[in-house]
Structures are given as C-alpha cells and as structure tokens.
C-alpha cells in the first residue's frame, strides 16, 4: 500500500509589525517519486506528518532543515518496512545537532521554573554558540570550536564596563558547561584554560551619592530609589512586587514566586525583608496616588516595568550624578550595610543567595555600623 510523509515547517510570518507562525508543507515524499526539497525561508523548526491507523500523526523533525530531511527519509523507510511486515533496518545511531540540542536545553530551563533572567542568560549564551559554531553535530565539537567561540565573544558580545570582557566570557562559558553536561559531554575547554579575571573591589553607593540621586528625583523616582535601597531586591523582583507583598503593620515586604502571573524568583524561594518605616509610609502614600492595579511599579500598560533602570538614571541625570548608575549597586549597598551590622549570614538570607560566597562578594570596603534596621539608612534624605 502506497503511503506518503509530509515535511512540515513552522514558518515565521509578518503582518506589519506583528509576528505570527504558520505550518507549511515543504515537500511530500511519495513511494517511487523522489523529490528534492527546498529549504523554506524563515522556518524555525520542522515536523513530519503521516497517516497511521486512519489518523494523522505529527512528529518533531528538529530545527535544522538538513537534519529534518534526513530524519524524514529514514522514517519513511521504517514506516514502509512496518507496513510490509518487515523488520525495521538499522539506520545507525541518531546524532544530535547543535541546533536541536540548543532548542531542547533552552526549553528545559523554562520547564524547570527558573527565573526569567536566568533563562534569558542561558538562552543568549547557548544560541550565540549555536550561531557561531561551524559544526553541525554535538559530537563534532572540539576544544578549538570553544576557543573560536571565545574569540567570537570578544568581537561581538558587549560588556557593561571596561575590563569586564573576561568576566562576561567566563559567565557564558559556565552556561555552556551546563549545556554540554545535559548532552552527556565534558566541557571541551577546561575551566583552567578560561580567560582570567581580576577581582574587582565591590562598589556600593555612598550616603552622599544616594542623597545626590534623591535631590532632584520626583516622588515616583524617590519611591523607586528607596525601594531598591531599603529592600536589596533584584530588578525583576522589584518589577513584580505587588502591594499584597507589603505588611504595613510589621514593616515587612515579601518576595517570592507568583505562579498566577508566571513569575518566579531566581532560586524559586520566598523571603521576607524588614524595612524602615520611611519606606512603609511612602508605599502607603503611593498606593493612595495609584489605586488601580496590584503592581507597585507598573509600566504605562499596567504590566511589570522593564525600564526601572532608565527611570533611576533620569533622576541621576537631572541631579548631575556623574558616577555609573546601576540597580545592582543598590543591592550591594543594602548587602554591605546589613552585613556590617547584622552579620553576613543574615545578609545572605535577605539577599536570597544560595551560597554565602556570593554574599561575601557583595561586601564593599566601606565599614558601616548601625544599631537597628531603622538606623541602617538614617543618613538618607527623607528620614
């Protein structure tokens, strides 16, 4: 009985600025009628479809066009033998392409409920390697391929500041290590051969810098700056913070996963930070000004704001602040102040670090001693 298998591509379509995806048949291979398929434009992945027991069956065929055609033709032979009651031929071991392995790895990170920022970091690192590597299959990757990728990163990956290139490269190589391990491989380039980085002194905001930032800030910008300063939250934690997280009686703010909106923290755990009364009062006033929505710092559409850094930098620009402004520096300021007074273990808990060695890297050289949580930031404008 004659049969056919269709190669189906998931193709990206554009309608003005909108993007949608559609399934398109690339080629149909019929018994006795060989066809030379042509690779479709803007295809993101492939499937093959055939009939079995009167039902349509669709199976994945990978991301690579060439691999999809190979899988398609092997599958066609197997189905033909199955229909004729013959033993399926041994077509040799299946080889995993770099493209397919990268796709599966990124998908697995999302499935494991890792924080969106972590998934984003993995995705950028793995997809960059996929695009720069000249090999097709995972089992072809050598030490030289990783060295070539290191050079590619030097030429193409931007960094936040001077002297941070090697640190960025090491971070991405670390992501690649997990990628190789998931595919049963040892890292082709041992860690001892990775580019070296010099330990940088931890930078925290001084009281004078904080006061300067606040000097020309609007009420909304002041709310944001003090929220970062008093909580030590990561930027995505602040962006997804809701008023229900705030206990106005105990002066505590909770941070944790929010499955109802598809958000999880970096380690998937919940923690509570006690904050000064100044921030609690500001949040009360902020709620009175903005009665709609659950988020404390929403964007203009009511969703999580991805431009919090931009808003802080606008205040810095008006104040004539010349030092580099980052949101993570507020987190290190919080960690330094809290660690100096209440110990590094307590700072670790409030920062949400799994490893205390990470917290140790947050300790700036500035020595700060205060008598209570209320007094940790007593030298900040607005107290």
Tell me, what's the pLDDT at 9?
Answer: 84
- pLDDT band (50, 70, 90) for residue 28: low
Residue 314 has pLDDT above 60, yes or no: yes
pLDDT computed for residue 370 by the predictor: 44
Is pLDDT above 70 for 274? yes
Higher-scoring residue by pLDDT: 24, 374: 24
CATH classification (class only), 207-360? mainly alpha
pLDDT score of 383 more than 50: no
Residue 57 is predicted with a pLDDT of 79
Q: Judge contact between 233 and 331, C-beta under 8 A.
A: yes
Q: Are 2 and 31 in contact (CB under 8 A)?
A: yes
pLDDT greater at residue 341 or residue 249: 249
Of 288, 285, 274, nearest to 246 by C-alpha is 274
Res 16: pLDDT: 65
Close Cβ partners of 344 (under 8 Å, ≥ 6 residues apart)? 356, 359, 360, 363
Name the pLDDT band for 19 (thresholds 50, 70, 90): low
For the purposes of burial, counting CB atoms within 10 Å of the CB of 164, is it exposed (0-12), middle (13-18) or buried (19 or more)?
Answer: middle
Q: What is the mean predicted confidence (pLDDT) over 3-15?
A: 76
Q: What is the pLDDT of residue 34?
A: 52
Average pLDDT, the chain: 81
Q: What is the DSSP letter of 95?
A: -
The rounded distance, in Å, linking the Cα atoms of 76 and 82 is 10
**Radius of gyration, alpha carbons of the chain:** 27
Token pair belonging to 92: 């040799």
Over residues 319-374, the pLDDT tens digits come to 999 888 888 888 888 888 877 777 777 777 777 777 777 767 766 555 444 444 44
- pLDDT band for position 382 (50/70/90)? very low
Task: Please list, in sequence order, all residues whose beta carbon lies within 8 angstroms of the beta carbon of residue 196, skipping any fewer than 6 positions away.
Answer: 166
- Encode pLDDT of 36-86 as tens digits: 667 777 787 777 787 777 788 777 777 677 777 777 777 777 777 877 778
Instruction: Find the largest Cα–Cα distance for the chain.
Output: 86
More confident residue, 40 or 195: 195
Choose which CATH entry (1.10.150, 2.60.40, 2.30.29, 2.60.120) describes domain 98-193. Answer: 1.10.150
Q: Which of the four pLDDT bands, split at 50, 70 and 90, describes residue 129?
A: very high
Of residues 357 and 123, more confidence is placed in 123
Going from N- to C-terminal start, the domains of the chain cover: 4-83, 98-193, 207-360
Q: What is the pTM of this model?
A: 0.57
Cα 324 from Cα 16, distance rounded (Å) = 38
Percentage of the chain surpassing pLDDT 70? 82
| 168-182, 251-265, 361-375: range with lowest mean pLDDT | 361-375
Give the tens place of pLDDT for each residue, 130-165.
988 888 888 889 999 999 999 999 988 877 554 578
Residue 27 in this model has a pLDDT that exceeds 70? no
């Amino acid at each position: 009985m004659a049969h056919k298998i269709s190669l189906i591509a998931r193709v990206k379509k554009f309608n003005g600025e909108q993007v949608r995806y559609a399934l398109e048949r690339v080629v149909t291979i019929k018994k006795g009628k060989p066809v030379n398929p042509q690779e479709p434009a803007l295809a993101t992945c492939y499937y093959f479809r055939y009939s079995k027991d009167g039902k349509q069956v669709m199976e994945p065929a990978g991301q690579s066009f060439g691999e999809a055609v190979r899988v398609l033709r092997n599958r066609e032979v197997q189905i033909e033998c199955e229909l004729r009651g013959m033993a399926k031929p041994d077509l040799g071991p299946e080889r995993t392409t770099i493209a397919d392995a990268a796709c599966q790895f990124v998908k697995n990170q999302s499935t494991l409920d890792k924080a969106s920022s972590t998934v984003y970091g993995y995705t950028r690192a793995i997809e960059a390697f996929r695009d720069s590597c000249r090999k097709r299959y995972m089992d072809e990757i050598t030490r030289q391929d990783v060295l070539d990728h290191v050079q590619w990163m030097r030429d193409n990956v931007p960094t936040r500041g001077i002297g941070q290139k090697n640190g960025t490269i090491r971070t991405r190589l670390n992501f690649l290590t997990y990628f190789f391990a998931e595919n049963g491989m040892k890292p082709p380039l041992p860690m001892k051969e990775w580019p070296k980085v010099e330990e940088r002194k931890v930078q925290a905001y001084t009281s004078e810098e904080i006061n300067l930032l606040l000097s020309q800030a609007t009420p909304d910008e002041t709310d944001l700056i003090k929220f970062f300063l008093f909580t030590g939250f990561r930027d995505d934690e602040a962006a997804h913070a809701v008023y229900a997280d705030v206990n106005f009686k105990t002066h505590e703010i909770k941070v944790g996963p929010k499955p109802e909106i598809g958000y999880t923290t970096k380690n998937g755990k919940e923690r509570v930070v006690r904050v000064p009364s100044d921030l609690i009062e500001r949040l009360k006033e902020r709620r009175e000004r903005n009665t709609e929505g659950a988020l404390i710092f929403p964007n203009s559409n009511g969703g999580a704001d991805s431009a919090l850094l931009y808003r802080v930098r606008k205040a810095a620009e008006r104040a004539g602040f010349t030092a580099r402004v980052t949101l993570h520096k507020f987190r290190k300021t919080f960690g330094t102040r809290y660690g100096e007074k209440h110990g590094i273990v307590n700072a670790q808990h409030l920062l949400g670090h799994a490893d205390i060695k990470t917290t140790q890297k947050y300790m700036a050289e500035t020595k700060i001693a205060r008598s209570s949580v209320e007094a940790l930031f007593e030298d900040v404008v607005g107290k």
